[in-house]
Structure 1
Amino acid sequence: MLYVGAVALLGAAALTAAFVASGPPQQTTWLAWLVVMTLLVSVGPPQVVGRIQLFSSGLFTIAAVPLVGPVGTAIVSVVPVLAARNEPIKRVYNTSIRILYGLAGGAAYALAGGVTLGTTPLPDAAVLALAGRMALAAVVIATVNIVMLAGIVRVTSGASLRAVVPDLGRTIVPGYSAYLVAAFLLTVLWAPVGLGAFAALMGLPCLAVAQWALRQYVAEHETRQSVLAAVLNALDVRLPGTREQGEQVARVAEQMARVLGLAPRDVETLTTAARLRDIGLLSLPIAELDPGRPLGALDGPLREHPRAARQVLGELGFLADALDIIEAHHERVDGSGYPRGLRDAQIPMGSRVLAVADAYVNLVLPIGAHPALTPEAAVAACLDAHGHLDPAVVRALQVALERGMPPLAGAETAGSAGSAGRAAVPGAAVDHAHPDSPRTVPR
């Protein structure tokens, strides 16, 4: 609450200072049209894909910078908040950060020599200069947005800014890049070409089609997530606790993938595979999943559960890449894994990352009667696994921890008493046989 209050005061002070310094927007008719256009594309809830909220209004915020100045940009930027149905505290915070990044973008444009445009045609050199100044404004707007959002994430979750800021950047920057291109075209048609608000009206049908396509994509994404949720619920009924552990493995795998520089699509595929990594267990008889079974029985059907995942979910085409990762996530770089005995580069990178993430979570959580290791001891155990795990991937885990990867719920921390009873065993198994199997048995 204190953070939100501080941001609100800063936003109000900045808006007041900008109004005193530059006065109200001169092009009030243009401002009114921009507000109307922004309101039109803000009606209804934002499209959400995973943790990402997608707003089409960003292009009007960037276009407002050269058309109506800093104060006008701040006004345009807050319109989506007025159209949204949020709790009062969220409205206050969202309004404040939008005022701040609108004013910051306008100030950056002005400091770079930009002026509020009129209807006078621009020479080619001036158009190129306009593009550069708008690009600078977009960078500043995106940066302020990322910093302010990272602050609220830090306050509410305790996550490290070193981990949050890059993640938000990967989410926000691509959207602003697209907004910048559309905003530049709109601005040139609006002012120098002289079409005014008609330029935006011409673009509304295209924007409507784009929003329709986005809604179709979001609907498809939500359908896929519903299917995955149903499958995971079925697994959790069979093996209680499996879903939550899968979510934790997915979080660790995602952080490691970021360190390794995997593409966003590959990161999403990897996290899906992490959540579904044990889905092949659904194909096994109940007797095979008895926690009391001797570990020697790993030579039996249990070793086939990575391959069995394809039998369970093979008809879902959108999971094809995730199933490739799942099938090889018990392979080991020295060739000692299963089901195919792959080694080194024969094992997909996603499978190598998932193997390390799975091992780490299995070591830092107190599962069954086995106490947990601290994160540092768990990493040491993974490094000492005598060729089972890819050392480069384990180092990525180490870097993710150094960058402030949030601790897992229920995990031990450095110096905690719970880790004292369990030492890291060089060459020990760091992958699971089934949810209650000992984690210090050679494989």
Structure 2
Amino acid sequence: MKIRYLNESSIPRQSLDQGTEAQRKSVQDIIAEVKNKGDKAVRFYTEQFDGVKLESLKVTDGEVDEALQELDEELLSILQEAANNIRAFHEKQVQQSWMTTEENGTILGQKVTALDAAGIYVPGGTAAYPSSVLMNAIPAQVAGVKRIVMVTPPGKDGKVPAGVLAAARLAGVRDIYKIGGAQAVAALAYGTESIEPVDKITGPGNIFVALAKREVFGIVDIDMIAGPSDVTVLADDTAFANEVAADLLSQAEHGELSQANLVTTSKGLAEAVQKEVEVQLNELPRHDMARIAIEEHSAIYVADSLNQAVEAVNQIAPEHLEVQMENAMELVGKIRHAGAIFVGRYSSEPIGDYFAGPNHTLPTSGTARFSSPLSVDDFVKKSSIISYSKAAFDENGSKVAKFARLEGLEAHARAIEARDKN
């Protein structure tokens, strides 16, 4: 892991992976096939990419019951407690419809309405993610979405991991399909014989899932285009090198393109973390993948001052930011760009991934400069309410007509003036 000095080098700006031309063409072809051939195309691509020939795409209640029996009671209890924490946090985000009445009788307001249907994508492949089930399904439920459809790739045995199905049951998701990739995104967007289309698709996936979400945006809404996971630790010499190194590696093990940065005001900590990362890397089960992420996409940045360190963090705009510094909470106000901020030594990033309550679906690749974590707001839409009184119309109608003519829209002006004639 390289050490760089901020007074000598700049931080490269991250960007989302746009995929190759071949990948984009492949995704477009898959979407077109699913749109035209429905379940037949979904089964074909599931066999081609996942190596599984499925008779039925839908997960049965019996399969979910079997999954629950596979997990011990302690683990189920942990999943339930995590679900409770996530629900409690997101319930605080709920917005109510509102209206105000002006003195002249005009009523203005905003109506908040839940989406009719949401599709949640739960990644598979190299790992199973029960946490993604909880983080996507629970905000949708809290928002009031009536129909939640979950898709997730099957394993080679044609089954969905027990933990994923158990989390779905705890979250109250019953409409589950064992399909993944671009074909699953297309099925959610356009519908098939088995799957009714949804209004919004959320959840992370590989580059093919990300490209597919981009392709269907406009037919449905999406949460974001998620890139590789990243973490930045902002630390001084009060931090413990072995803890910082462990937190960096917790993100590096996600994949070869993951990014794990340390920004510090302490040269001593930088050197100690560099050594610790190397020691701990060799002990990780996924060390080959994590090593590529550490060596090719990660760095340790040494700053001359606290202000320079904080500005570097804002430039990175990390998905996850850990602040392991003396008086850490006092620095939160200076952080402008971060998906989630973990404050203090005991707020290790996995606490947020699994248990604390805030959502772990976060803006990646520097998009925290303009994006927010997944929330209840993602599963509602808002309608403006305008009820103009006669008094307000008499006072402002001529102004509106003049404004319309300024834009060259004569019919707009006449729509106002027609009421004057009557």
- Higher-Rg structure is 1
The structure carrying a bigger helix percent of its residues is 1
**Does TM-score exceed 0.5, indicating one fold?**
no
TM normalised by structure 2 equals 0.28
Tell me which protein shows more strand as a share of its residues: 2
Higher RCO (C-alpha under 8 Å, 6+ residues apart)? 2
TM-score by length of 1: 0.27
